[in-house]
Amino acid sequence: MISEDGYIVTNNHVIEGASEIEILLSDGTTRDATLVGTDPATDIAVLSIADASGISVASWGDSDAMEPGAWTIAIGSPFGLGGTVTVGVLSATSRVIGAGPYDAFLQTDASINSGNSGGPLFNGSGEVIGVNTAIFSPGGGNVGIGFAVPSGMAQDVVRQLIDTGSVERGFIGVSLQGLDEVLARALGLEDTEGAIVTAVETGGPAEDAGIEEGDVILSVDGESAEDPREVSRLVAALTPGSEVPVSVFRDGEQIDISLTLAERNPGREQAGSPTPTDDGELMGLSVSPVPELVRRNLGLEEGEAVMVRNVQPGGAAADAGLTQGDVIFSAAGEDIGAAEDLSAAWAEARDADRPLLLQVNRGGNTLFIAVELTQEAESD
């Protein structure tokens, strides 16, 4: 519980689809809870109980202050064994596992298993620095790799859910691509930090502000953007309607642009926010619609094919050889027009215990790639 008012934080996947929700206390009694709001994009949900008496309130800590090697403490109910405490160190920060558009997980080797979902991850001072969310495991059990939504992200989401029941995120209306060393040199950049604009939405905030295809976004609101996902997180954290400075690199020089944010809605593709293709067990791949310029070059209509935006190292997609920028035409012989189509094809292949055959265009050449499950990143 995070307040004396009876607000409780958990994961969206824990309560998703529930018709009734009860809170089980350590003394074995239960109390009815109501759903305040959910944010599937970060897998956070907020519940409320009318009677909060006798329940301790946990204080938020500063996840940004945590460094690898610091002690972490996880509490939860693994495999239904309530009140379980495990201890480990923080293994990494800002970890991307392909679970959603705003991946920036804390990674810990404190034992996290199925049933730990929604439980707190504490620092050594007993402050909540994360919400336990996922594990990475070949067999569904703890192997010392667990993930938590950092408190810096969770707090803002929780506040908005309590205040309004939903989460507002900024939107600028561009599609982005990461930079490699060759592309950076071709553009005249000294390093690979930033994200190149591959398409600009007509009538969107970016177009209105003068951002163009080929621009490289270097920073948003004064914060450096290391890659497309960082652009996504920076933009999403800002309030729609606010005016923010955006620095771009164009024709050999840095240009500062003032941009008024719109609101991102769930059906809209946001800059650097590829749509996950997986439902539960991850393929290690995220995609988005094919940018207009690429569609024209390939002779595609809008809604035909999807483009690979991110490939998680060590995942099934990476093992199969898929790379950023690949354009996926079909899966198992069926046309792919959206991330949901690819997700459904992947789930069907998994259920049938067979590889998923993809038809891909890479650099103007068509090839076939078979993706086979090798290991799983699972919600716990």
Distance (Å, whole) CA 365 – CA 343: 24
pLDDT tens-digit series, residues 198-251: 778 888 899 999 999 889 999 999 999 988 888 988 998 888 999 999 999 998
Q: Which of 13, 48, 111, 326 is catalytic?
A: 13
Q: Which of 91, 111, 117, 219 is catalytic?
A: 117
Please check whether residue 93 is in contact with residue 106, taking contact to mean a CB–CB distance below 8 angstroms: yes
Q: Does domain 7-164 have CATH number 2.40.10.120?
A: yes
Output the average pLDDT for the chain.
85
* Residue at token pair 């439902």: 279
pTM value > 0.85: no
Fold of 170-263: Pdz3 Domain (2.30.42)
Please check whether residue 375 is in contact with residue 137, taking contact to mean a CB–CB distance below 8 angstroms: yes
Helix-then-strand count for the chain, H and E: 8, 26
* Top-confidence residue, 289 or 9: 9
| Residue 43 annotated as catalytic | yes
Please give the C-alpha separations between residue 316 and each of 37, 144, 212, 358, 361, in angstroms, as whole numbers: 33, 20, 34, 13, 19
Domains 7-164 and 275-379 in one fold: no
Q: Which of 39, 43, 227, 380 is catalytic?
A: 43
| Residue 117 annotated as catalytic | yes
Q: Report phi then psi at 77, rounded to 5.
A: -130, 65
pLDDT tens-digit series, residues 317-329: 888 889 888 899 9
pLDDT tens-digit series, residues 244-275: 999 999 988 999 999 999 887 644 444 333 33
Please provide the CATH number assigned to the domain covering 275-379: 2.30.42.10
Domain coordinates in residue numbering, the chain: 7-164, 170-263, 275-379
What's the pLDDT score for residue 264?
A: 74
